[in-house]
Each structure stands twice: as structure tokens, then as C-alpha cells.
Structure 1
């Protein structure tokens, strides 16, 4: 679960000086019952986070659907009972978190299943193109995807801007000497550089913005030189839901898509008060 301390920041931002509407309109001791409902079909996520927030403010929660479960439009995912002001205080933050996480989980599940039908060994991954990493990365996992790096501290990824300053072979040598525990990945955009990276000892080669036929050439060249089994191949850039199967047909290991987190389509969930206590 995403740490509660992180989640509470959203409440603090949303109600810096309290919820003036509820404080003005709702009697302080009034209790209420409420439900959170899925308004579309998909994969639900953010249940644990919403549960933690409501319980922190004294609201009793009954979980009806678990993170990662498929839901249908109209399904109740949470039942709530407690102080009405507390329910309304948390409402929008909980729905925002669930909507974003469920949107990511739904899409990564859809793409993962699409890819697996074509090539069972290929994994779908997100990227670091997000500012809400704890939420987005967990949503990727719930949906069945790979998170890629969580942060700059997790793995070594040598990109074009690094190679603009340090030659490829030297960069890989330095990276290998820096740590025996860190995976060394190199981003390349040509057949020549892919072979250079593999020869220099890269663990992962990211083929960036290359077309399927170009990637096929890289794979065959690596096989000819006996290098394919020594590296994992990641495809990134230019991949969309419409063309992802063309990449999945190839002998690659990972397909990463930034749009999974930077262009999230929110999943529709709503909270409805169903009675007083």
C-alpha cells in the first residue's frame, strides 16, 4: 500500500483550513452510511489506499472488491459508515486516487493481455513519466505490469544525454565498475549502437523509437554474434495500443509505454450517501 503519510498530503492540500461547506451545513455529530460505486467496467485499484484514508478519520469500511479485481458498472466496491463530515472530507481525495489508479490498472491489464496472446514472454512496463510515483507505480503492479525504475536510484539507465557527454563503451565500463548490484541499461537508436552496447556488457538494451522491422534486424544481428541471450531487450518510444502487437510479435522482453502514466484516462467511481445514522 502507498504510505498513509503520503496520502494524507492530498487531504491537507484539499482541506488546508477544513471543509467549510460540511462544517457550515452538516451537524457535527451526524452519522452517515455511504457506498463507493464503479461507474464503468474495468480493473479496480486504490481500494487499500481509500480504506486507509477513511479509517484514519474514524470511518468504518467494508471492502467489497479487492485491488486487481475486475468490476462491472454498478458494482459496490466499498461500504462506509461513520461521521458524515469525515466521509465528505475524504470523499474527493479517495475517489481521485481510486480513479487514477484504476484507470492505469485497467489499461495495463488490457495491454498485457493483448500482448500475452501474441507473445507470452513479453512484459508491459510503465516509465518514470509521472510525478505521482507511489500511486502510479502501485497501479501498474496491480494491473499486472512492470514498474520499470521507481527512481533514479534503482537502476542505471544510460540515455542519449549521458552519451552526449561520455562515449558509450566508457559509460558502460564506468557503470559496471560503479556497482555489481545495479542493472545497467543503455538506450540506443541504431543497430550499430545496439551491438556496441551488447559487446560492452550492457544487461538491458532499450531500443528507442525504432520501427518493428528495425528491431527485427537488431535481434537477428545479436543472435548472429551470440549476444542475444546475454541481454534483455526493451522496446520503447512510438508504441501505442494500436500497434503494440506488431512489437510483441518480435523476440523482445519488455515493451514500455510512458502514456500509461502520463496520459491516464480516469476510471469513473462515485460516492453516494445512502442514509443517516
Structure 2
């Protein structure tokens, strides 16, 4: 895998370069007035990109590419690849190059790695919390605009599973869809079957056990059980057994996810993996 990526890295070389370049230009890194004023062109430096907290790393290829844009001759040793757990103090990258290049690329490289490592680290916490159950941890479409494929990749680095990536990947009939077609689950599922390509999954969001019964009667293949208490989740899991797989969602936290998993649901989707993950504390330390 290129530049420290894990399997499934979503960007080809051209897209990777374009994204890193755009971020550097946004920061006007090639016009870094402080560095240009204070650091001589030929000054050489070495630095380590270090984890300041325990977590899981993601975004290494973007960090590497950012540094290479400011100094094409920089030497980079990758000690930790994407998807790898780190402890506080672990070195992720060792860099040797021009001081100007390292300084001017530092913030952009860290922004990429901190954000994506934060998503991977939070995902890993949820995956660990449900270990030993049959539930998989899923992401959602609640992603940063333009960063969806990267954030979903970071989820997989943390051991999670990707949900549908786009609106065209699967049918998910939610409450507003039902409201817009008269509230009849059967009609909505029938229309979905007639329109969607053969074999495409049809899932229905349900808030109550009664809605689950209606969705199953209509032939839904998957149920999104939204904000249900655990006793209701257990009942729905039994109703759906052998007919449809079940996904719990809504208000899931690290405190509640284990109890939800123990109801027997197949999947637990968590928007917070991508919309609320705190960045992992990484830093560039000069020798």
C-alpha cells in the first residue's frame, strides 16, 4: 500500500496529490512568511511525528504527501501504517529534510492525520465495547462534505464496517419518505422494488414494534430500529429472525453500545464516528 495506507485507501495517486496540494494552497504554505523570514534555505532538520495519546492511526498517506510537496527530497521513514494502534509517545513518522519544508507542511500534515486518526480511534473504542457479541459497528452518511470516502476509510482502519456510501447504494425508507407517500409501508416497499435495480437492498426505518411488523409483512430485507429501548430491540430481533437483518441506531454512546449489542441486533450505526470524533493528539517534534 502506498505511503503507509491500509487496504481500501480510497484515493488514487492523482487524487491524493490534488487533495494535499489544495490543502497546502488553502494554508498558503508555499508563502509561509514566518518560515521564509526566519529559516535559511539550506538549513536541514530532522523531526518525528509523535502520538501524544493512545489511539489508532489513519491518514498517513496524506501527511506524507503534504511533506513531499514542500520538500520533494525529504526522507520519510514510516514507523506506523494506517490501521495500527499506537501508544502515547510512539513515533509515527521520522522525517529528514529542509527545515523550511517541514515547518511549512506541518499544520496541513497534522490536520489530515489528526482528523482521520480521531475517527479511527473512536471507532476502535466502539468495536472493543461490543467485542464478543455478533454486532458490527457501522458508520453513516453524517460525514464532512468532500471527505466522506476518507472518513469511511478511517472507520475501517478502526475496525468498523462501512454502511452505504451514497444515496444510490441502497434503499433506506425513512419516516419522511413514508410521510411523502401517504404513510403506507407496503406501498413504499413495493415502489422501491419496482424502481431499484434487481438485488438492491430495501431497508425500512422503524420507530415502533408495530412498524417492524408492517415492514416485515411488506417484505423489507433490513430494519433500521431507531431510538428504541433495549426491550423493544429484543422483541424486534425475534420478529425479524430469519426474515431480515436488524440495525440499531439513534443516541448510541460508549456507555450504551454494549447493552444494545447484547439485544442481538446485527448492526449498530453511529453517526458520531464521523461527525463528533475528537482529533487524535499528534505532534511534530524537531530534534
C-alpha displacement at 1:2, in angstroms? 4.5
Do 1:205 and 1:234's aligned partners in 2 also have CA atoms closer than 8 Å?
yes
CA contact (8 A) 1:122 1:252 kept: yes
2:174 is aligned with 1:159? yes
Deviation readout 1:30-57 (Å, 9 max, x if unpaired) = 3322110011112122122212322344
Distance across 2 between alignment mates of 1:202 and 1:150: 20
Cα distance between partner residues in 2 of 1:221 and 1:12: 55
Sort the Cα spacing of 1:24 and 1:66 in 2 relative to 1 into closer, same or farther, 3 A. Answer: same
Matched residues in 2 for 1:172 and 1:53: separation? 47
Structure 2 equivalent of residue 38 of structure 1: 51
Q: Of 119, 140, 146, which aligns to 1:127?
A: 140
The CA distance in 2 between the partners of 1:7 and 1:201, in whole Å, is 46
Q: Which among 176, 191, 198 is matched to residue 193 of structure 2?
A: 176
What's the offset of the Cα at 1:254?
A: 0.4
2:203 maps to which residue?
185
State the partner residue of 2:256: 243
- Which runs of structure 2 are paired with 1:55-74 in the superposition (5 Å)? 55-57=68-70, 58=72, 59-74=74-89
**Correspondence for 2:5:** none
Corresponding pairs, count = 267
> Which residue of 2 is the match for residue 225 of structure 1?
none
Q: 1:60 and 1:173 mapped to 2: Cα distance?
A: 59
In structure 1, list runs of 5 or more residues that go unmatched.
223-227
Query: Which residue of 210, 216, 219 maps to 2:234?
Result: 216
Alignment partners' CA distance in 1, 2:172 and 2:264: 21
| Contact 2:24-2:30 within 8 A present in 1 as well | no
Equivalent position to 1:146, from 150, 161, 164: 161
Paired residue for 1:258, among 258, 268, 271?
271
Distance apart, 1:138 and its partner CA: 1.1
- Partner-residue secondary structure (3-state), 2:22: helix
Kindly provide the CA deviation profile for residues 89-113 of structure 1, in whole angstroms up to 9, marking residues without a partner as x.
2211111121121122112112112
Deviation string, structure 1 residues 152-191 (Cα, Å, up to 9, x no partner) = 2222211111111113222212222221142222111111
8 Å CA contact retained: 2:129, 2:254: no
Would you say the 8 A contact 1:37–1:271 is kept in 2?
yes
3-state secondary structure, aligned to 1:73: coil
